[in-house]
Amino acid sequence: MNNKVILLVEDNPDDEALTLRALRKNNIVNEVVIVRDGVEALEYLFGDGGYAGRDVTRMPQVVLLDLKLPKLDGLGVLRRLRSDARTKLLPVVILTSSNEEQDRMKSYDLGANSYVRKPVDFDQFLDAATQLGLYWLVLNEPPPRRL
Amino acid sequence: MFRIQNNTITKKLTRMNMLVSGAALLMACASFVTYDLFAFRETIVRNLSIQARVAGSNSVTALVFNDSHTAENTLSALKAAPNIVSAGIYTLDGQIFAAYEREPGTQLPRFISADHDETHSFKDGSVIVTNSIVFQGKPTGMVYIRSDLRALNAQLQLYAIIAAAVLAASLGTALWLSSVFRRSITEPIRHLADVAGMVSRDKNYTVRATLPKSRDELSTLIESFNDMLTQIQGRDGALQLAHAELEQRVSERTFQLAAANKELESFSYSVSHDLRAPLRSIDGFSQALLEDCSETLNDDGRAHLQRIRKATQRMGFLIEDLLNLSRVSRTEMHTQNLDISALACSIANDLQNAQPERQIELQIEDGLKTRADPGLLRVVLENLLNNAWKFTSKHASAHIAFGMARGNGTPAFFVRDDGAGFDPAFADRLFGAFQRLHAMTEFAGTGVGLATVQRIVHRHGGRIWAESALGQGATFYFTLSETDS
């Protein structure tokens, strides 16, 4: 479980810190790669730009994707991931503040695997992080590696 | 359509002209012919009478000397008059003395009475004249002359031919004249009908009927028609202008509304995304502070942090409720027929399951149906039943009812509880956002629920109101549309 990487796409440093704190408090010690915007997320996943030369066969176990992001927003990232054969089946969890119907609709429409709201109450946030970690890192079997 | 009527008018006018002139001509002809026939008959009688007198005086000698042969010779002079059929000289006692017959076999009377000096009569297509023969002042015998009416019949035929010719010529002239003059009547009418047809067909109010040269009732009619068109044109123009203005205003308003909606949408979206993030930070780091620095914090510090966290969470609920409230106005409605009783049951069951320790006697009227948006109606019932649950929570046991009130007026659904109730003086503030009639420490809540409920009810075209007295429970009534029954 330790070699499984989590990609956290989050521009808010507070949310980043809280997410990391929640994960750590639940003893999830996996490497968490943090990118600050949608473009950077794509560069990381496809080994472009600042991440040129990265071993792209090593895909994260799960992508925790915020919707409101600088440059390219979460839905834009999701659209690009689903249209590329390399990331078409990559598990993506939308982790966001909003529970707007249109956001949920579009996310699932574009092929999100899950939609989780970040609760205001940190206790609930902890709870959500526990379940997320447990589910995506332990319980869930990822799709077979691309041929 | 107009042309047909026009043709009818033309026909009517022609027929009228023909009938009037025909009748006048017939009467004139008839009177002329009658007069002439009478005059002619008198002439015939007079001529016959003269001939009778001549024949009589020529036969006096023969009569005196009883020489019937001479008398017959005298009578035979009547051959010159082809109209005379027969003639006879009679003795004073009425016996025939001499006879003349143009063609043999003509019956001459053997005897005539000599009561009168002179008589004439028309009989069997002939005229008979008798005359007494006077010699030296004494009546001596009688003359009888019978003439046919060939001349009269010929005259009659001639008259008939002349009358027919005059009638035909006059009627022809009348027809020609009327066709000339009726145009001055029918043409303006036809023109008027054409213009009226154009106006009603094309809704073109700019056309005008041309006035005829002569001034008469028709020109007045056409003038009035044109005046009317001018008025209609004016009103139509004003109406179109008003319509265009209205359209313009509607499209402006629609645009503004759409813009406002879009703004509201993006505002809600921002609120949904951005307003919660700082709260999460405050709550999260307060918790972190409590966990990481608990040794350096005294009890007061920890209590303060707890208060911060509580307030933050409350703010989170407020934002949540506000978003729900705005969502209620923004979401599209899809109404359908619903079993509202079943919906109330399912919500009440959820509430009961969430708090199994509560002693609540629930009474839900069965089989109530309504037409509403299912999602929004659920929000209404959830809020009202939730409130009933909440405001009876201080009582050991409670009674909550849902049903339909069928008093005077529109039937209304109701949710009734026997909980804390509210002061009716503040009933109007009940449905305002963030309005609370109870202290926070008494009953939790943001004060947005009833505002949300009212908004949903209004969107369905219904009404909501409440009745209560402090400490005696509350009843919330609502209708969803005027057609609820």
| B317-323 contact pairs (CB < 8 A, 24+) | B317/B446, B318/B446, B318/B448, B319/B271, B319/B272, B319/B275, B319/B276, B319/B279, B321/B446, B321/B448, B321/B449, B321/B452, B322/B271, B322/B433, B322/B448, B323/A100, B323/B268, B323/B271, B323/B272
Inform me whether the C-beta atom of residue A100 falls under 8 Å from chain B C-beta atoms. Answer: yes
Provide, as residue numbers in chain A, all residues whose Cβ is less than 8 Å from the Cβ of B276.
Answer: 97-98, 118, 120
Q: How far is A22 from chain B (nearest CA, A)?
A: 9
- Chain B's closest residue to A15, CA to CA, is B281
pLDDT, mean over chain A: 87
Q: B400 exposed, middle or buried (CB, 10 Å; 0-12, 13-18, 19+)? A: buried
- Read off the pLDDT band of A82 (50, 70, 90): very high
Q: Is the pLDDT of residue B78 over 50?
A: yes
Q: Is the pLDDT of residue A87 over 60?
A: yes
Q: How far is A133 from chain B (nearest CA, A)?
A: 19
Best of B281, B285, B331 to disrupt the A interface (most A CBs within 10 Å) is B281
Q: Which of A81-90, B151-160, B259-268 has the highest mean pLDDT?
A: A81-90
Residue B381 near residue B443, CB atoms below 8 Å? no
pLDDT of residue B1: 43
pLDDT of residue A83: 92
pLDDT, mean over chain B: 84
CA dist list (Å): B418 to A94, B77, B356, B451, B471: 45, 149, 19, 22, 8
- How many angstroms separate the CA atoms of A120 and B276, rounded? 7
Best of B262, B287, B291, B293 to disrupt the A interface (most A CBs within 10 Å) is B287
- Cα B147 → chain centroid: 77
Residue partners of B424: CB distance under 8 A and separation at least 6: B467, B468, B469
Size of the A and B interface in Cβ pairs below 8 Å: 65
Provide, as residue numbers in chain A, all residues whose Cβ is less than 8 Å from the Cβ of B286.
Answer: 122
The average pLDDT across A3-29 equals 87
Q: What is the pLDDT of residues B321-343, one digit of tens each?
A: 888 887 887 778 888 888 989 99
| Residue in B400, B440, B405, B432 with CA at minimum distance from that of residue B416 | B400
Inform me whether the C-beta atom of residue A115 falls under 8 Å from chain B C-beta atoms. Answer: no
pLDDT of residue A106: 92
Q: B111 exposed, middle or buried (CB, 10 Å; 0-12, 13-18, 19+)? A: exposed
Q: How far is B297 from chain A (nearest CA, A)?
A: 20
Alpha helices in B59-115 (DSSP H): 60-64, 68-76
Q: How far is A49 from chain B (nearest CA, A)?
A: 29
Provide, as residue numbers in chain A, all residues whose Cβ is less than 8 Å from the Cβ of B316.
Answer: 119-121
CA dist list (Å): B115 to B51, B123, B128, B226, B268: 20, 19, 15, 86, 139
- Chain A's closest residue to B317, CA to CA, is A120
Q: Which residue has the higher pLDDT, B377 or B445?
A: B377
The average pLDDT across A100-124 equals 89
Best of B280, B322, B373, B446 to disrupt the A interface (most A CBs within 10 Å) is B280
Q: Is the pLDDT of residue B440 over 70?
A: no
Q: How far is A91 from chain B (nearest CA, A)?
A: 23
The answer to whether the Cβ–Cβ distance between B284 and A96 falls below 8 Å is no
> What domains does chain A contain, in order, with CATH numbers?
6-69+99-138 (3.40.50.2300)
- How many angstroms separate the CA atoms of B303 and A102, rounded? 40
Residue B321 near residue B446, CB atoms below 8 Å? yes
Q: Is the pLDDT of residue A128 over 50?
A: yes
Q: What is the pLDDT of residues B269-301, one digit of tens each?
A: 777 778 888 888 899 899 888 888 888 888 888
The answer to whether the Cβ–Cβ distance between B277 and A14 falls below 8 Å is yes
Q: Is the pLDDT of residue B480 over 50?
A: yes
Torsion of CA B240, B246, B251, B253, to 10 degrees: 170
Helix (H, G, I), strand (E, B) or coil at B147: strand
Helix (H, G, I), strand (E, B) or coil at B61: helix
Helix (H, G, I), strand (E, B) or coil at B167: helix
pLDDT of residue B328: 80
**Helix/strand/coil percentages in chain B, nearest 5:** 60, 15, 25
Q: Is the pLDDT of residue B484 over 60?
A: no
The average pLDDT across A14-34 equals 87
Q: What is the pLDDT of residues B9-38, one digit of tens each?
A: 778 888 888 888 888 888 988 898 889 888
- How many angstroms separate the CA atoms of B389 and A4, rounded? 48
The answer to whether the Cβ–Cβ distance between A123 and B288 falls below 8 Å is no
Query: For B441, left (φ over 0), alpha (ψ -120 to 50), or beta?
Result: alpha
pLDDT of residue B485: 44
Which of B276, B288, B312 minimises the CB distance to A97? B276
Provide, as residue numbers in chain B, all residues whose Cβ is less than 8 Å from the Cβ of A102.
Answer: 269
pLDDT of residue B7: 65
The average pLDDT across A84-98 equals 89
Instruction: Report residue B21: phi and psi, to 5°.
Output: -70, -35
